[in-house]
Amino acid sequence: MNIFQESRCSILGVLLVFFLQGSCADPDVEVHKAVGDSLELIADYPKKDLEVLWRYNDTTFAEYRNDDFQKVKSELFNRLKMNKNNINVTVTDLTLQDSGIFSVVAESKSEMYKTKVFVLHVHGSCADPDVEVHKAVGDSLELIADYPKKDLKVQWRYNQIAFAEYQNDDFQKVKSELFNNRLKMNKNNISVTVTDLTLQDSGRFSIVAESKSEQYKSKHFVLHVHDLIREVKIEDSYFWLQSKNLCMFHLRCVASGDQNLSYSWISPQTQGPQLNINLSLTESATLSCTANNTVSVKYTTKTVVCTDKSEVQQFCVKS
């Protein structure tokens, strides 16, 4: 299928600025692209005995020789599309970091062609801003492509890798093993649902869509999957201050599950996992602690009593 290009701003468009330079190379061409766009580097030279190198900042990342593309060691771009027929290399899914100098170096047995140099500037995309989505482990994430249905082509991507595709009024097979049997597709509302979310699913999901006549704005969702809070308990210890006849309690609220938690206490109302209170002899207090993260809340209470510790000052720990 065609390369999907993320929403391309007409304002950014492709702006070409030519600078006159020395005579052995064509002048540098400044190319402006948006994040997610593609950069096409065509070697439109006579095909006879043609050898071409495509370079990025002086590292070769594609090579054409003996009428075919050759293996190149460089790991530079794993987002390349090569087309033998028109000797065309396309870097897809441009990122801000791709900004740099691309060149197409070509020669035949009899001739060294002028090198073409493209100075690529990748700009922030004009897609809608990322939507932050918080989910709990085991939840589902539904990604609906609510675009006009006519001639609609949609790609769902996870961290830039396509994992679902819709075209010709139906979902298409996609090679990706991502989410495997956790994907549910629904033709009626053109939605893809990832079920049984795991912590590792946290990442950036995109919906890229186009029709024959229009490139729609891409939608991006940054998914944060959180653990549910499994258990919360109050630990307490106290110090018997004989001179004042009181117990100085130190309480700690401890929750397991997620790392990033908020704690709060009621009566006395405080924030944070720790609480200190003083009780006079035989006085008791019932304390409540609430732990929450973005996706869950758990709450517990405990009653503590100040008992006579007539012995010397000591530190008692109760479980």
Ligand X SMILES: *[C@@H]1O[C@H](CO)[C@@H](O)[C@H](O)[C@H]1NC(C)=O
| Total of residues contacting ligand X (CB under 6 A) | 29
User: Of 28-36, 66-74, 187-195, 201-209, which part binds ligand X (CB under 6 A)?
Assistant: 187-195
Cα(151)–Cα(211) distance, integer angstroms: 5
In the DSSP assignment, the letter for residue 26 is P
> 181: helix, coil or strand?
helix
User: Of 98-106, 159-167, 197-205, 232-240, which part binds ligand X (CB under 6 A)?
Assistant: 98-106
Among 60, 90, 108, 195, binds ligand X (CB under 6 A): 90
Shortest distance, CB of residue 187 to ligand X, whole angstroms? Answer: 9
DSSP β-ladder status, 39-42 and 183-186: unpaired
82: which residues sit within 8 A by CB, 6+ positions away?
Answer: 62, 69, 88, 89, 90
Binding flag, residue 313, ligand X (CB under 6 A) = no
**Partners of 152 in the β-ladder:** none
Binding flag, residue 244, ligand X (CB under 6 A) = yes
Nearest residue to 87 via CA among 74, 70, 102 = 70
Residue with structure tokens 């602690």? Answer: 289
Binding flag, residue 248, ligand X (CB under 6 A) = yes
Q: Select 112 or 267, whichever has its Cβ closest to ligand X.
A: 267
Give the chain's length: 319
Binding flag, residue 293, ligand X (CB under 6 A) = yes
**Partners of 237 in the β-ladder:** 250, 317
Binding flag, residue 42, ligand X (CB under 6 A) = yes
Site for ligand X in 67-86 (CB under 6 A): 81, 83, 86
- Give the interface with ligand X as residue ranges (CB under 6 A): 2-3, 40, 42, 57, 81, 83, 86, 88, 90, 99-101, 144, 186, 188-189, 191, 244, 248, 260-262, 276-278, 292-294
